Amino acid sequence: MNFDLDVFLTPLFSWVFMKAALITLALAASAHAGAILISVPMALGLNSHSRLLKAAIRLYVGIFRAIPTLLWMLFFWNAMPQFSAVFRESWYTPFMAAWIALVVNEAAYQVEINRAALNAVDRAQIQAATAFGFHPLQIFRLVTLPQAARVALPPTVNEFITLLKATSLASVISLQELMTVTNQAVATTFQFQEYYAAAAVYYLVIVTVLTLFQGRLERRFDWTTERRPGGSLIRLLGGRAR
């Protein structure tokens, strides 16, 4: 075994790898944001009284959770252009195809997290807001959302970490993300150890930073310790209680 330290260190400071890591991060973050955005209304739909709506959402979750992310990526990149000319235009890059595949896939997982979080909100506190004449949308923004967000946070960060690693599947559709450039480097140099180790460091750093951020966020969501009223969660979420 002859581990070449220089070969290992070069990608850690090379622009090609850094850019690939940024693409990885951007894809995961934007896909998760999109997934959360569509999964919140879906979670509300699951809690609604409409049987048709619930059945439709269940069907969605059933389909998109059962089929592997890899298949979705290949499907959106290779098969969609056969359906419509829209997907043969220049905007439809590997990044877009991977993004759509991850959004529709991840939303199916996030729905259940959101639903559990919404159900964990104390009914009595919602009733109290009702009793004071709050509009239903205000109740959602000021009471339901902040309380549900706290419950949803740890499993959501967990999902994000899974998603971050799932972006590596986009190497099959030639997106220049971290695993793609790693494979390309390996293919020309055959220095497996060094490049794999370098890629591992990138993932490790991203996830570690994220975990630290999660800790900070959770402390912010902790409303059992005394804190100045100024730094409140409502402001964090863009409310106007201050």
What are the residues binding other proteins (CB under 8 A)?
122, 124-125, 127-135, 138, 142-143, 146-147, 150, 221, 223-229, 232-234, 240-242
Q: Which amino acid is at 220?
A: R
Q: How far is the CB of 221 from other proteins (least distance, A)?
A: 8
Q: How far is the CB of 242 from other proteins (least distance, A)?
A: 7
CA 19 to each of CA 66, 70, 95, 159, 231: distance values in angstroms, whole numbers, following the listed order: 32, 23, 14, 23, 35
Which residue, 122 or 218, is less far from other proteins as judged by CB? 122
Q: How far is the CB of 180 from other proteins (least distance, A)?
A: 43
Helix, strand and coil content of the chain, in percent to the nearest 5, comes to 80, 0, 20
Which residue, 156 or 168, is less far from other proteins as judged by CB? 156
Q: Fill in the DSSP letter of residue 228.
A: -
Q: How far is the CB of 115 from other proteins (least distance, A)?
A: 19
Alpha-carbon gap, residue 173 to 101, rounded angstroms = 12
Alpha-carbon gap, residue 182 to 193, rounded angstroms = 11
Alpha-carbon gap, residue 77 to 72, rounded angstroms = 8
Which residue, 130 or 158, is less far from other proteins as judged by CB? 130
Which residue, 57 or 151, is less far from other proteins as judged by CB? 151
